[in-house]
Amino acid sequence: MTDNKNTNNDSGKIIPGDPSDIKGEGAGHGFDKVKFIANKSIFDEGDAGDAAYLILSGKVEIRKGVHSSSPQILATLEKGEAFGEMALFDDSPRMAQAIARSDVLLIRISRDEFLRRLESVDPIMRTTVMYMVKRVRDMASEFMRRKGIDWHEWRKEDKTPFVK
């Protein structure tokens, strides 16, 4: 995830060009377009990962430690960027919250479709990506620990929204 601020190139985007043009074997099978209105939570930190998302339009904010005393904004994502994929790689709970900062249109990639496509990736590349996911999770936990936030202790029942 990167925080791209109104750039006119595709350098930070997972799929260059127009993401609504995604094609390929299985496109439409395991892929759904979904809409969220501004300020609606797409998923919460700690939720099970059931899908990854690709932004077709709008902005999504990624937040960590939302239910702590020191929530952190990790990224603001825009058209062409993806999020929610880490929980699909390693079957761990969501490490952050995703919230629509504007009305958004997303492509939802189901867990089954994601894993089916991952199986076709070279085993060495797949293992390398798994190590990268683990390192990102470890770095995020260490970052929050250094900030004095024990995000493992947040109370999911406390739904006090964090708004920037």
Q: What is the pLDDT of residue 35?
A: 97
**Residues 34 and 96: beta-carbon distance below 8 Å:** no
The whole-model pTM stands at: 0.70
pLDDT in tens, 121-139: 899 998 898 888 889 888 8
Looking at residue 59, its pLDDT comes to 98
Tens-digit pLDDT profile for residues 150-160: 544 544 444 44
Q: How confident is the model at residue 149 (pLDDT cuts 50, 70, 90)?
A: low
Task: Give the chain's domains with CATH numbers.
Answer: 24-153 (2.60.120.10)
Among 96, 61, 58, 78, smallest CA distance to 12 is for 78
| Selection from 7-16, 20-29, 36-45, 120-129 with the highest mean pLDDT | 36-45
pLDDT at position 4: 42
Give the count of beta carbons closer than 10 Å to the beta carbon of residue 140. Answer: 18
Instruction: List C-alpha distances in Å: 85 to 55, 116, 155.
Output: 13, 14, 24
